[in-house]
Structure 1
Amino acid sequence: MTLDFFSPVSDLVLAHNELLSPQALGKKIKIHSEKKGFPELGDVSIVVFGVLENRNDVNYIGEVFQLNEIRKIFYSLFPGSWNTVIADLGDIKAGETVEDTYFALKTTVCELVKQNIIPVIIGGSQDLTYAMYRAYDTLQSMVNLVSVDAKFDLGDSSKPMKNNSFVGKIILDEPYNLFNYATVGYQTYFNSQEEKDLMDNLYFESYRLGEISNNVTLVEPVMRDANVVSVDLNVVQGSEVSLKQKFSPNGLNGKEICAVARYAGISNKVSSFGVFEYKPSKDDEMTSMLVSQILWYFIEGVNCRINDEDFSDDRSYQKFITLVEDQELVFYKSNMTGRWWIEIPFLSNVNNKLKRHTLLPCMHQDYIDACENKVPERWYKAFQKNSI
């Protein structure tokens, strides 16, 4: 691990931690401190760290920020019945340039994922997701990214990258590793028609706020197929956060954003998770508490992971076949968890990018719809991407 990138957790937070209950989370995790140095990561499964970079925020006016308030509250929470060892690495300081910070974050995430450690990042501006994504350049050929966000953040990719255009850069910059991009909780009036059309033309997935609020379980199969999950705190409705953090009267409520974080944690594929667009202020307690609970639910999810994707053993699943519009659809249901998958047929005459995506996570409802002669939308989009 490149230690030079990190500054230790502040003595102020550590002093506060000393006053907590022996059962509190802050007493159970390894912490990078000035006195004890960088923690040993041999048995660690999850690391939390901050990235103090927000210069590519379109509204940046020179303010600096710290994560002390989040840490104080996060440390004071009580862990669940967890079997994972957690470490707080401190913060990646803003580099000389934003690109320096990106490099530090990319290098760190790459090293951690290689060691099967899940990085949980608390950040400034959401363009840091670009560096998280680039960490996978040498790790795997195709990456699935889920953004929990009110906006698509496609932006104008011909201009320098900002926190409202980083996805456009991800799509257009080489190497082209992005297989699927899904936005969860978007609000139509914050996105231009051109961006909506581009999402459709690229067969990317988007789930409106209303859909998620009506049925938050829609998020589960999307997260089950994700590698990188990025949460923009502006997706949360204004009544749930502090004054400076307020963005829109509509958005996911506290319970919904925590459920989404838990689904991300439960996914066996999610190997990095970030919460961005945090804006500290004097009346900050509500946002700090919400971010702490989002992190808590993600870690809770990781501790509930079950590997139910062994389809080599006939006894571990049930198989269902149905015919929709002359297309044979094959579904699998895990006997262990009850989770569902749908098979994507290979097209032998095209250059196939989907070798490890033959089974697409789906819901029981998709099978019911297929029995009623409706093609599941997730299957259709994945099939079309496979045909390009």
Structure 2
Amino acid sequence: MEFDFLSPVETNLIIEIKRLSSQHLSNKVVFHTQEDFPDIAKVRIAIIGVPDHRGDQTFAKESDLSSIRLNLYNLFPGNWSSTIADLGDILPGNSPDDTYFALQKVVSRLIKNNVIPIVIGGSQDLTYALYRGYDNLEQMVNLVSIDSKFDLSKQDDSSLADSYLSKIIIEEPNNLFNYSNVGYQTYYNSQEEIDLIEKLFFDAYRLGEICNSIAIAEPVFRDADLVSLDLTCVKSSDSGNFVNFQPNGFNGKEICALSRYAGISDRVSCFGIFNHQGSLQETALIAQIIWYFIEGVHYRSNEYPFGSKDNYIKYTVPTEEEDVVFYKSDKTERWWIEIPFFANVNNKLKKNTLLPCSHDDYLAACNQELPERWWKAQRKSII
């Protein structure tokens, strides 16, 4: 059984959590204990800890996930109905590959059972294991990383956490359809890496772009399967991480807003939080990030995939090259743009020809300016 890789939540911690009032989030959570394991068939969201930092040697100490759990379960829930389970931890294996294997198996099983894993990790190379969890699901994967770096370094001269994306791109089976970075900082990425992102038709948004208008990130998350959050993208004055000091980055409000976008996306089926150093300030922030993700999940509108286009208004915009079709939801007023299907090529988008976009993208198209993401998706579909 895949769940044999999971160690139960510490008994002393559960005793402390159970002392909280019935109004706290802890009362809505079922725990993996020494005596009992949650019924996965009744669970919508599962929290898993993976305190393995061996992919990044800069960590000062191992993660204390107990502090994160205490902060999280001390919060009050929203008007939530779904069952949340804390499945405990996947302890570090004899090698990082052992940890990857265990995490891959657990995540794959949960996703197959329509359970959304929230993984509180050690180093961000664990994203590779989350990605591999989709191997047996017969689908292409869209990965979104909230990160100041692209993590495309060469595997032979860097830590695993700095090169996991290279590993994802190179290794077979290659199920990656698209990678999007939200919040990269140019001075942390070589020009070679930036050029490669462009060459592969991946999407990347600078920190300044997102901070100037955080809503532009919403369509990116709407098209994601897997979201990986590197906590070093939060500036140290907000995260309390002074081991790897970050003078610039997202503030607490912005990172929680991005987490809510990830949760509210009908398509996101796995969320990982990595690279935390364990300060009291950071553990409190992680708890709130998780809270906002869960809040988002409970407000999903179930608009993906499209079952019928009856509830959408169709807009056709004539351009110099071709007519571009947009759809607007009557329910949420969110927008999609149609990607042309080329019948004479091996089109990877046969099952999904609609790309999430914004109202601003529609207005730009009316002025003969098509979204860059649309161009990239179109080119990618004919490769």
TM over 0.5: yes
Query: How many residues matched?
Result: 383
Which among 322, 342, 350 is matched to residue 355 of structure 1?
350
Relative to structure 1, the CA distance from residue 310 to residue 248 in structure 2 (aligned partners, 3 Å threshold; closer, same or farther) is: closer
Structure-1 residue corresponding to 2:251: 253
1:45: how far off?
Answer: 0.3
Superposition map of 1:1-388 within 5 A: 2-34=2-34, 36-59=35-58, 63-157=61-155, 162-244=160-242, 246-280=244-278, 284-309=279-304, 311=306, 313-388=308-383
2:241 and 2:349 map into 1 onto residues whose CA distance is: 45
1:310 and 1:132 map into 2 onto residues whose CA distance is: 22
Q: Secondary structure of the residue that 2:315 maps to in structure 1?
A: strand
Q: How high is the TM-score relative to the length of structure 1?
A: 0.95
Contact 1:3 1:38 in 2 (8 A): no
Q: Secondary structure of the residue that 1:49 maps to in structure 2?
A: strand
Contact 2:57 2:159 in 1 (8 A): no
1:100 is matched by which residue type in structure 2? D
1:177 is matched by which residue type in structure 2? N
1:311: how far off?
Answer: 4.9
2:225 and 2:310 map into 1 onto residues whose CA distance is: 28
1:330 and 1:158 map into 2 onto residues whose CA distance is: 46
2:370 is matched by which residue type in structure 1? V
Contact 1:58 1:163 in 2 (8 A): no
2:4 is matched by which residue type in structure 1? D
2:264 is matched by which residue type in structure 1? I
Contact 1:31 1:88 in 2 (8 A): yes
1:205 is matched by which residue type in structure 2? D
1:249: how far off?
Answer: 1.1
- Could you say what the CA RMSD is over the residues aligned between the two structures, in angstroms? 1.6
1:309: how far off?
Answer: 4.2
2:66 and 2:203 map into 1 onto residues whose CA distance is: 36
1:310: how far off?
Answer: 6.5
Q: Secondary structure of the residue that 2:119 maps to in structure 1?
A: strand
Deviations 1:312-346 (A, max 9, x none): 64530101111223121100001111010000001
1:16: how far off?
Answer: 2.0
2:308 and 2:381 map into 1 onto residues whose CA distance is: 27
Q: How high is the TM-score relative to the length of structure 2?
A: 0.96
**After the TM superposition, which parts of structure 1 deviate over 6 Å for at least 4 consecutive aligned residues?**
none
Moved more, 113-122 or 234-243: 234-243
2:332 is matched by which residue type in structure 1? T
Contact 1:203 1:385 in 2 (8 A): yes
2:131 is matched by which residue type in structure 1? Y
1:171: how far off?
Answer: 0.5
Relative to structure 1, the CA distance from residue 348 to residue 81 in structure 2 (aligned partners, 3 Å threshold; closer, same or farther) is: same
Q: Secondary structure of the residue that 1:315 maps to in structure 2?
A: coil
Moved more, 3-12 or 349-358: 3-12
1:245 and 1:71 map into 2 onto residues whose CA distance is: 22
Structure 1: which 5+ runs fail to align? Answer: none
1:374 and 1:32 map into 2 onto residues whose CA distance is: 52
1:228 and 1:324 map into 2 onto residues whose CA distance is: 34
Contact 2:59 2:277 in 1 (8 A): no
1:138 and 1:160 map into 2 onto residues whose CA distance is: 29
Deviations 1:70-116 (A, max 9, x none): 01111100110011100001110001111110000000000000000
Q: Secondary structure of the residue that 1:42 maps to in structure 2?
A: helix
Contact 1:56 1:125 in 2 (8 A): yes
Structure 2: which 5+ runs fail to align? Answer: none
